[in-house]
Amino acid sequence: MQIETPYLMFLGDVPDRLAAKTAYGIKDWRPEWCVGQLRLPGCAADLGIPDLTLAEAVQKGCRTMVIGVANAGGVLPEHWIAQVVAALDAGLDIASGLHARLGAVPAIAEAAERNGRQLHDVRHTAETFATGKGTKRPGRRLLSVGTDCSVGKKYTVLALEKGMRERGFDADFRATGQTGVFISGRGVAIDAVVADFISGAVEWIAPAAAPDHWDLLEGQGSLFHPSFAGVSLGLLHGAQADAFVVCHEPTRTTMRGVQHPLPTIQQVIDLTIQLGSLTNPDIRPVGIAVNTQDLEEGAARALLADLARTHDLPATDPVRFGVEGIVDRIVAEFPPAVTGASA
Amino acid sequence: MQIETPYLMFLGDVPDRLAAKTAYGIKDWRPEWCVGQLRLPGCAADLGIPDLTLAEAVQKGCRTMVIGVANAGGVLPEHWIAQVVAALDAGLDIASGLHARLGAVPAIAEAAERNGRQLHDVRHTAETFATGKGTKRPGRRLLSVGTDCSVGKKYTVLALEKGMRERGFDADFRATGQTGVFISGRGVAIDAVVADFISGAVEWIAPAAAPDHWDLLEGQGSLFHPSFAGVSLGLLHGAQADAFVVCHEPTRTTMRGVQHPLPTIQQVIDLTIQLGSLTNPDIRPVGIAVNTQDLEEGAARALLADLARTHDLPATDPVRFGVEGIVDRIVAEFPPAVTGASA
């Protein structure tokens, strides 16, 4: 699945900013793809980009209208359908992060057919995956792992993509969740993949590459999360990660959605190495990424310094303080074999 | 999904016994449900039960025709469709283990609708699962785990169901694969469940129960298998297993479908305890089950005695030598709290 860019961001009439979380994520990381937004009366979200009509969006070069919003139940409200049909008639593809399939709405399926346009349901996949093979493939891979869900695993690898490219690395973000798929224009939401094929899907998402190429894989869940550890393990095995960054949110007391306490960062490091060794015996940590948005700068810097000392790893908030230390560690641990990425 | 029993076993015109592996599994473990078979000209499989016409099957009380056969590609051959439609018209439900959905064939969907009959696609599920909660629930649970795929995990828990019931236990086999679903008439094939919901599906398959009730859960894959470890871990966490049996096939040299060596039984015990402790800190092994079919009886008994001594656990081939030792260990480790299961 390759979603054509740039995007017209459809926000519908969502009642708050949170319902447009995916759209904000796309805007944060791919502002150059977000040409404009289309909002219905009553919409409480605003990406701060121009409001465009469908005709204006097409005229400015938009290729796809992105439904990067959620509504209760994940369904497509009746009054959005006419907008989607009109967008197809205007010549745009549609990409949706809703649970409901676009093509299941007859009017939308007919309009796509009539106009020869693509419908992308990011939460579903038409791709058929093989089961994972576990055979070592060329290219370098880094995976973000976590003490919990929603601790910054996507933002960490997106920041690393930017930071590593600035330092001359050939590095690509690899999405495993719906927002990430919109941000990269490709990839597979792992929560659309049937259990037997998790590792195989990850092998497909991050395939064999040049020896010095880095795939930066968005992790999911946590090896310590009772709901999602299986997904995290399949991702780890499929990634055959050379390197990993541990992501953490310091104000969290129990794991998201359950009563379990958070593991320590050291426990995550140890278990990731232990289990990751099955498909890559050389796996090693290269940093700690902490979401410090609830801490003042002084407290954040003190926490990061303490974590760096304790674990002998660069520790940073990738969004707030950058990823330079982690990139330095990657350069030191994995000296380029062929061409030089600058240190 | 509850499949109505007893069954008429549809074998089609499969070219060999292996293509009817699921049907043989059902016949082995639920002979009382297998009233007869329906074979087309050229069929090379034979369950050794009466060949029946559809009318005879209905007259003998059959409720469901089971398509327990595979063909290349998992699709429903054109010339089977007429038989399926005729079975629906005769008043039978249909349950299929094929990848293709029965209802995707218009003639079959129409016949089911016309006759008010059920279509069960065991490899798919219409059930919506919650994500796993990891909260301890009442009732006892045993999970079969393995050094690899296809080492007897289903047969082990089926043998335990029989052996434990004979000893007065309230024990139920819980299927997680398609053959198991046919054998129990319910359950969910884990390979039909989307990755995020593995643990949640297992919590649904083996729900809260009376304190002395045992759910005997069919394991899948292996924590050491690079293709399927994520599935195995999700199963382990969802099962919240009190007890586990390690299943092993002693002639295997590499793991099925990949180049990885088999782990040792001790490695499987250690990792199962380590990772299973997340949702049940009291998890413990209660036996080793070895598929000894390629060994002579003397060699098999010697191997089992050696394994029992090394691991201080009962070791048996459940099919060849029974499960008495494992049931003894369960009685010793988990004395009934309420009513007495006999020792």
Out of A132, A228, A259, closest to residue B227 by CB: A132
**What average pLDDT does chain B have?**
93
Both tokens assigned to B22: 């699921």
**pLDDT score of A200:** 94
Query: B101, B121, B193, B196: which to substitute to probe chain A, counting the most A Cβ within 10 Å?
Result: B196
**pLDDT score of B127:** 78
**pLDDT score of A342:** 47
Question: Higher-confidence residue: B211 or B70?
Answer: B211
- Rounded CA-CA distance A16/A187 in Å is 28
- Rounded CA-CA distance A112/B262 in Å is 50
To the nearest 10°, the Cα dihedral for B149, B155, B156, B162? 160
Q: How many CB pairs under 8 A join A and B?
A: 122
Give the other-Cβ count within 10 Å of A302's Cβ. Answer: 12
**pLDDT score of A76:** 85
Contact list, B122 vs chain A (CB under 8 Å) = none
Residue B123 near chain A (CB below 8 Å): no
- Rounded CA-CA distance B20/B35 in Å is 16
What angle in degrees, to the nearest 10, is found between the helix axes of B229-239 and B265-276?
Answer: 50
Give the other-Cβ count within 10 Å of B250's Cβ. Answer: 18
- Rounded CA-CA distance B241/B200 in Å is 14
Task: Fill in the amino acid letter for A110.
Answer: E
- CB within 8 Å: A196 and B229: no
Return the DSSP state at B130.
P
When pLDDT is averaged across residues B110-136 and rounded to a whole number, the result is: 91
Burial class of residue B126 (count of CB atoms within 10 Å of its CB; 0-12, 13-18, 19+)? exposed
Phi-psi region of B231 (alpha: psi -120 to 50; beta: other; left: phi over 0): alpha
- CB within 8 Å: A135 and B199: no
Nearest residue on chain A to B274, alpha-carbon basis: A271
- CB within 8 Å: B231 and A198: yes
Residue B195 near chain A (CB below 8 Å): yes
Q: How many residues does chain B have?
A: 343
DSSP helix/strand/coil, B315: strand
Residue A134 near chain B (CB below 8 Å): yes
Are both A7-121 and A140-333 of the same fold?
yes
Distance, in angstroms, between B278 CA and closest chain A CA?
Answer: 7
Return the DSSP state at A252.
-
Out of B194, B227, B235, closest to residue A191 by CB: B194
- CB within 8 Å: B229 and A237: yes
Considering only residues 233 to 252 of chain A, which have any Cβ-Cβ distance to chain B shorter than 8 Å?
A: 233-235, 237
Both tokens assigned to B323: 């499960």
Cis geometry, peptide bond prior to residue A6 (ω within 30 degrees of 0): yes
- CB within 8 Å: A196 and B228: yes
- CB within 8 Å: B227 and A133: yes
Q: Which of B277, B207, B268, B218 is nearest to B242 (CA)?
A: B277
- CB within 8 Å: B199 and A132: no
Q: Hunting for tokens 């490091």 — which residue is that? A: A269
CA A307-A311-A314 angle, to 5 degrees, is: 65
Handedness of CA A118, A120, A125, A130 (dihedral sign): positive
Contact list, B233 vs chain A (CB under 8 Å) = 229-230, 233
Q: What residues contact residue A242 under an 8 Å CB cut-off, 6+ apart?
A: A140, A141, A142, A280, A282, A283, A284, A334
Residue B131 near chain A (CB below 8 Å): yes
**pLDDT score of B338:** 58
Out of A199, A258, A260, closest to residue B230 by CB: A199
**pLDDT score of A81:** 95
Q: Which of B231, B218, B237, B192 is nearest to A199 (CA)?
A: B231
Contact list, B254 vs chain A (CB under 8 Å) = none
Q: Up-side HSE of residue B34: CA atoms within 13 Å toward CB?
A: 27
Q: Are B311 and B266 in contact (CB under 8 A)?
A: yes
- CB within 8 Å: A194 and B195: yes
DSSP helix/strand/coil, A158: helix
Give the other-Cβ count within 10 Å of B262's Cβ. Answer: 22
Contact list, B190 vs chain A (CB under 8 Å) = 195-196
Contact list, A230 vs chain B (CB under 8 Å) = 195, 198-199, 230-235, 237
Query: A198, A235, A258, A272: which to substitute to probe chain B, counting the most B Cβ within 10 Å?
Result: A198
- CB within 8 Å: A231 and B235: no
Supply the ipTM of this predicted assembly: 0.87
Query: A99, A131, A176: which to substitute to probe chain B, counting the most B Cβ within 10 Å?
Result: A131
When pLDDT is averaged across residues B242-261 and rounded to a whole number, the result is: 94
Task: Fill in the amino acid letter for A197.
Answer: F
- Rounded CA-CA distance A127/A61 in Å is 28
pLDDT under 70: residue ranges of chain A: 1, 72-74, 338-343
Residue B258 near chain A (CB below 8 Å): yes
Q: Are B243 and B283 in contact (CB under 8 A)?
A: yes
- CB within 8 Å: A194 and B196: no
Give the other-Cβ count within 10 Å of B9's Cβ. Answer: 31
Which CATH number is A7-121 given?
Answer: 3.40.50.720
- CB within 8 Å: B135 and A259: yes
- CB within 8 Å: A231 and B198: yes
Q: Which of B102, B71, B69 is nearest to B88 (CA)?
A: B102
Residue A273 near chain B (CB below 8 Å): no
Confidence of residue B343 (pLDDT cuts 50, 70, 90): very low
Distance, in angstroms, between B231 CA and closest chain A CA?
Answer: 6
Distance, in angstroms, between B257 CA and closest chain A CA?
Answer: 7
Out of B133, B195, B275, closest to residue A191 by CB: B195
Q: What is the pLDDT of residues B6-46, one digit of tens each?
A: 999 999 999 888 889 899 999 999 999 999 999 999 999 99
Domain ranges of chain B: 7-121, 140-333
**pLDDT score of A72:** 64
Considering only residues 275 to 314 of chain B, which have any Cβ-Cβ distance to chain A shorter than 8 Å?
A: 275, 278-279
Residue A135 near chain B (CB below 8 Å): yes
Neighbour-count burial for B53-86, b at 16+ CB within 10 Å, e otherwise = ebebbbeeebbbbbbbbbbeeeebeeebbebbbb
Q: Does domain A140-333 have CATH number 3.10.450.50?
A: no
Nearest residue on chain B to A260, alpha-carbon basis: B134
Task: Fill in the amino acid letter for B220.
Answer: Q
DSSP of B70-129: --GGG---HHHHHHHHHHHHTT-EEEE-SSS-GGGSHHHHHHHHHHT--EEETTS--PPP
When pLDDT is averaged across residues B274-300 and rounded to a whole number, the result is: 97
Residue B232 near chain A (CB below 8 Å): yes
Distance, in angstroms, between B190 CA and closest chain A CA?
Answer: 7
Q: Are B239 and B202 in contact (CB under 8 A)?
A: yes
**pLDDT score of A343:** 42
> Which helix (H) or strand (E) is A316 found in, with range?
strand A315-316
Residue B321's Cα: distance from chain center in Å? 20
Out of A233, A237, A257, closest to residue B131 by CB: A257
DSSP helix/strand/coil, A182: helix
